[in-house]
Amino acid sequence: MTNKYTRIIGTGSVLPDFVLTNDMLEKMVDTSDEWIVSRTGIKERRIELEREVSELGVIAAQRALECSGERAEDMDFVILSTVTPEFYTPSTANVIQGKLNIPNAFSFDVSAACSGFIYALDIADLYIKSGKAKKGLIVSCDMVSRITDYEDRTMSVLMGDAAGAVVVTGDTERGIQTSYIRAASNDNRYTELYANSGITKALFDKQSGEYLGRSAPNRDAMMHMNGRAIYEFIVKILPVIFEKCLGAIGKTSSDIDHMLIHQANKRIIDYLIEKYGLNTDRVPMNIERYGNTSSSTTPLLLDELNRNGKLKEGDLVALIAFGAGLTYGASILRW
C-alpha cells in the first residue's frame, strides 16, 4: 500500500556549551541588553568553538534515532539543511552518512537558509510518498557564527549555532498533511540577507598569463541584512502561506494545536500571535535562550516539545519558516 503521509517518529537536537550573552556583546559592539531584547527578544545565544557541522549533525541524528527506536543502517536517505557546509564537495550530508555508518542510503545538502528544514521535509515527503524511500533522516545544522561579523551590531546580536534532526517514515494515518514552499528571489528589495561563498579568486596577468596569487577574502563573506525590508516582506507573506496550508486541508488557525514559527525575531512571532488571536501556550519560543539558529530552529523547537511531553497523538502542528533568498515555507502535520 502506498503511504499517504510522511510521519516524524523521532526528534533530536544538540546545542554548543559556550553561551554568548548580551552583556558580552556590549563589550564587542555598540549595543546594549535593553536594545537587543526590545528589538529581538534575544538574551543569549550558543556558539560552537570546536566541533564541525557534521559532528553536531551526527549527535542530533543519533538522538533522533534513539527517540524513534530505529537503526541508522535502516535509513534510506540523509538530507542535511545548512548554509555552513564543511565542504563544497562532498556534501556534509554525505559526511554525516559515513559517520553514522549508513551503508545503503543516498544523501545530499539543501541550502535554503532558515527555511531549510521545511524544504528538506517537503523533499523527504515526496520520496516517501512516491515509494522510492521508506524512512530517513533529516538533519539541520548551521554554524552561523562562522559567517557572522562580530563588528556588525545588527547581525552579531541575532545569530547562534545548533543542530536538530528528525526521523521520518511512511504512514497511512498520520503525518504531513500539506506543505508549501516558495522563494522571492525575483525581487531585489527582499534579497538583502546574504553571505557570499568566501571563495577567493585566482589572479593572472592578462598579458603574460603569470599567476599572481589569490584575492584576499573580505567581509562580503559574512552575512548582511536589510532588516526593515525583510521584516515588511515577512509579515505580509507569512499569513499568505499559512492560510494556503490551512485552506488545503480545510482547517482554520483555531484548529492548530502548536504553531512553530522560525525564531528570527520575537516581534514577528508576536505579530502572528496577535493577528490570529492565538493563545501564547500554542506558540512555543526559545529565541530568548538561543537566538536565530537558522534552519535548526524548527527541529530544535520540535524536539523540545516532544521531549517535554507536549506533543500528543493527533495534535495538528504548523511549521512556518523564512530565510535568505528570500525563501519561505510552511507545513502542517498530524502528530
Instruction: Note whether 190 and 233 are within 8 A (CB).
Output: yes
Question: Annotated catalytic, 141?
Answer: no
Residue 198: closest CA among 150, 149, 151: 149
Alpha-helical segments (H) within the chain: 22-26, 33-40, 53-68, 92-99, 116-130, 153-156, 227-248, 266-276, 287-290, 297-307
Residue 120: closest CA among 295, 320, 300: 295
Q: Catalytic residue, from 3, 22, 94, 292: name it.
A: 292
Query: Radius of gyration of the chain from Cα atoms?
Result: 20
Q: How far apart are CA 158 and CA 264, in angstroms?
A: 7
Q: Catalytic residue, from 114, 245, 258, 265: name it.
A: 114
Question: Annotated catalytic, 114?
Answer: yes
Residue 231 CA to its chain's centroid (Å): 18
Using left for φ > 0, alpha for ψ between -120 and 50, and beta otherwise, residue 58 falls in alpha
Question: Annotated catalytic, 188?
Answer: no
Q: Catalytic residue, from 94, 262, 265, 306: name it.
A: 262
Q: How far apart are CA 47 and CA 293, in angstroms?
A: 10
Q: What is the DSSP string of 94-160?
A: HHHHHHTT-TT-EEEEE--GGGHHHHHHHHHHHHHHHTS-SEEEEEEEE-GGGG--TT-HHHHTTB-
DSSP 296: G
CA 14, 266, 190, 330 torsion-angle sign:
positive
Instruction: Note whether 255 and 248 are within 8 A (CB).
Output: no
**Residues with catalytic annotation?**
114, 262, 292
